[in-house]
Chains A and B, each alone.
Chain A
Amino acid sequence: MKLQLNGAPLHSDATTLAALLEAEGFGGAKVATAVNGSFVPATLRATHPLNSGDSIEVLAPMQGG
């Protein structure tokens, strides 16, 4: 199905947020996630279903002032 991952189009067969993260190289990474603008806690990623057209944000620590 078609997804958006950090603003870029993506085709994926992942049916959950956790599966998508694993498939896209985020396994074990210190990241926070949001789907369609809403925060999804790490504890809910395995049960959070993905649907075609979903927009996923994966954020990590970065320099800031």
Chain B
Amino acid sequence: MRSFYGETLANGLMLGTARYPSPKVLSDAFARSGAAVATVSLRRESGRDRAGQDFWELIRALNVHVLPNTAGCHSVKEAVTTAHMAREVFGTRWIKLEVIGEEDTLQPDVFGLVEAARILTEDGFQVFPYTTEDLVVADKLLRAGCEVLMPWGAPIGSGMGLNNVFGLRAMRAHFPDVPLVIDAGIGLPSHAAQAMELGFDAVLLNTAVAKAGDPAAMAEAFATAIRAGQLAADADPMPPRDMAAPSTPLIGKAFLE
């Protein structure tokens, strides 16, 4: 597996921490899946109930890599400021950079994304940009200093899987040495397995696990699918073909007419 800014992960599952029915279920999902990375966010804290402090203790107890996001940011300034605040609170240079450009699809504003990525990289951040499968944008992100790319599979929270397999396959082929993560739109373990079979290095998902009837079991299902997909990619899958090819040898077949 390719490394992420020098960190080699135990597996290709990056799991979000939002929308679980309870903190206990969240912890169970991480324990059962062995997810290597937890994505987290920053929100306003109340001096009265200090809810964020308990959540932080919960995350620390997971003993995984923490990937803070800039979710909900719509401008470069907002995303850059949020990244600085996240670096101080979480004590990591990693940042999942989101600059949202469109409300219905939560599609990234790729122009703002490239600008924010350059600013943050120059300031020492290790940027994980939430982007599309657009190769030109990907190239600009790499030139801005990103060493990882995170194209969407489908709109965030949609569960549709890989909407543009051709585009994602082209991206994998175009940037053979760049760690690539499918981020967003994953609904089923089979989607995650497909991403890994295409040669992606990891899958980042949240809702598909958190909103399942049994999140911990679903987390394990995703971990298993990702492992299977990775094994398949490493095993060099056969190319598809249009016409049948008999798998049983015809040589030596009896003449029975």
Contacts and interface: CB of A to CB of B under 8 A. Distances in A.
A61 B40 contact: yes
A31 B84 contact: no
Given A25-B50, A32-B42, A64 B16 contact: yes
Given A30-B89, A39-B84, A42-B88, A64 B50 contact: no
B9 to A, nearest CB: 18
Interface string B24-60: 0010000000000001111111111011110110010
A60 B42 contact: yes
Contacts of B205: 65
Contacts of A25: 46-48, 50
Interface string A29-65: 1111110011101100000000000000111111111
A24 to B, nearest CB: 4
B48 A34 contact: no
A62 B40 contact: yes
B89 A32 contact: yes
Contacts of A59: 42-45, 52, 85, 89
B41 A63 contact: yes
Nearest to B44: A6
B255 to A, nearest CB: 63
Given A61-B56, A65-B71, A32 B85 contact: yes
Nearest to A42: B88
B44 A58 contact: yes
Interface of A: 6-7, 21, 24-26, 29-34, 37-39, 41-42, 57-65
6 contacts: A30-B53, A30-B89, A58-B44, A61-B52, A63-B26, A64-B69
